[in-house]
């Protein structure tokens, strides 16, 4: 079921469809032009391993969000989150921070200690515990603060490429993505990714791909623009690139419980349409392996299986499992219990019609929690609270 690639280096463009080119991020050449989006509690080393096995090691796979303060203070949980499998090349870390000096220290630490090959900066997280401190998708509204953070990150990253991921803005009345893209280009970022929603939308509604097209038109051609939002299938990825002119795609919720989406993405960019349509037997083996990898990573089988519980609904979406077995699967506390419960499900079920559609969070949230007075001035920024820089990572 799994493969171990001989190399994690990008495949030359000659192998792909002539319509598309490799994604160049600083010295890195990424083929196909596909990036796994950082997702808190999801894109840890075990999940990245599963996705990379499906793609044959091709593409770029980013860690879950790492808080800069926690990194420079060497918080134990954070140091665990930045551990990469020896086969992971290139290694990519996403940083979150609101203090330019701390972001700079974190970037310098990553560069000098060889902790990663690429740094991504989070300006897209819409959750209240982040935006209420002026971070994530709230931060680009403060143009000067954004510039200072980018400048410190790029200046301290050495030879490592620095990229940024953001949303359209806080809401439709406070759009920031064009200004943020311009500032990023001026400060030397190597690529810019845009989720086509505002913070107010969270994950509701439909992603605005036209905003990705506008950003691509406004950013200098030498800086890749990546699109994110509503990529549920390999066909969606190609359609986004054709409709927007973006240079690559960032895949998030579409791969939840479906790491073989990256196999499909490799196939379509190499001119094939041999998509994965696994039976339930294959899915069940993937579920057990995912839980096993989590246990090995956490150093405890029970903790791994418990952490895996959140993935059960995604893996089983569309299959005839039954409410009683779903509850039992979601309550498993050992690999044996998980495997035995999965064995009670019809293993010969084919991939369900419609299972390629939306998964993960889909609800919107019309209120964005912000620091007091945050919207008063898009340039001036009062000193943020001391706890704005969280001392833990992972969302």
164 in Cβ contact with 194 (< 8 Å): no
Given the structure tokens 């945050």, which residue do they identify? 374
Expressed in angstroms, the distance from the first to the final Cα of the chain is 31
Segment holding 23, helix H or strand E: strand 23-25
Q: Which residue in 51, 125, 246, 255 is the catalytic one?
A: 125
Ramachandran bin of 26, using left for φ above 0, alpha for ψ from -120 to 50, beta for the remaining angles: left
- 255 an active-site residue? no
- Rounded to the nearest 5 degrees, what angle is found at the Cα of 95, between the Cα atoms of 386 and 194? 115
Helices then strands (H, E): number in the chain? 15, 11
Q: How far apart are CA 283 and CA 193, in angstroms?
A: 31
Q: How far apart are CA 283 and CA 274, in angstroms?
A: 18
43 in Cβ contact with 94 (< 8 Å): no
- Specify the pairing of strand 23-25 against strand 28-30: antiparallel
Cβ burial 82-96 (10 Å sphere, 16+ → b, else e): bebeeebbbbbbbbb
**Known catalytic residues?**
125
């Amino acid at each position: 079921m799994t493969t171990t690639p001989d190399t994690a280096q990008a495949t030359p463009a000659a192998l792909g469809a002539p319509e598309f080119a490799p994604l160049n991020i600083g010295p890195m050449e990424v083929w196909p032009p596909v990036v796994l989006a950082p997702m808190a509690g999801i894109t840890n080393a075990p999940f990245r391993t599963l996705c990379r096995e499906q793609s044959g090691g091709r593409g770029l796979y980013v860690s879950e969000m790492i808080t800069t303060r926690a990194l420079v203070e060497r918080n134990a949980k954070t140091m665990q989150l930045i551990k990469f499998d020896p086969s992971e090349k290139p290694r990519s870390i996403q940083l979150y921070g609101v203090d330019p000096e701390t972001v700079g220290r974190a970037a310098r630490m990553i560069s000098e200690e060889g902790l990663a090959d690429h740094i991504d900066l989070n300006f897209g997280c819409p959750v209240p515990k982040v935006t209420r401190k002026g971070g994530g998708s709230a931060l680009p509204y403060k143009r000067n603060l954004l510039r200072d953070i980018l400048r410190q990150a790029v200046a301290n990253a050495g030879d490592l490429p620095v990229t940024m991921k953001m949303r359209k803005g806080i809401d439709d009345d406070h759009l920031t993505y064009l200004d943020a893209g311009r500032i990023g280009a001026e400060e030397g970022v190597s690529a810019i990714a845009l989720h086509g929603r505002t913070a107010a939308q969270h994950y509701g509604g439909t992603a605005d791909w036209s905003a990705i097209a506008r950003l691509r038109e406004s950013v200098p051609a030498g800086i890749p623009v990546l699109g994110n939002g509503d990529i549920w299938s390999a066909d969606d990825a190609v359609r986004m690139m054709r409709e927007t002119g973006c240079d690559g795609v960032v895949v998030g919720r579409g791969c939840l419980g479906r790491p073989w989406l990256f196999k499909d993405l490799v196939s379509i960019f190499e001119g094939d349409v041999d998509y994965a349509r696994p039976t339930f037997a294959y899915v069940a083996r993937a579920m057990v392996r995912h839980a096993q990898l989590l246990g090995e990573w956490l150093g405890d089988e029970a903790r791994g299986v418990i952490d895996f519980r959140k993935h059960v609904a995604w893996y089983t979406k569309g299959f005839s499992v039954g409410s009683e077995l779903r509850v039992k699967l979601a309550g498993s506390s050992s690999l044996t219990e998980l495997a035995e419960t999965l064995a009670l499900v019809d293993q010969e079920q084919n991939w369900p019609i419609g299972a390629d559609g939306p998964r993960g969070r889909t609800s919107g949230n019309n209120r964005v929690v912000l620091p007091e007075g945050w919207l008063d001035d898009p340039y001036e920024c009062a000193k943020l609270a001391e706890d704005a820089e969280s001392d833990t990572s992972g969302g």
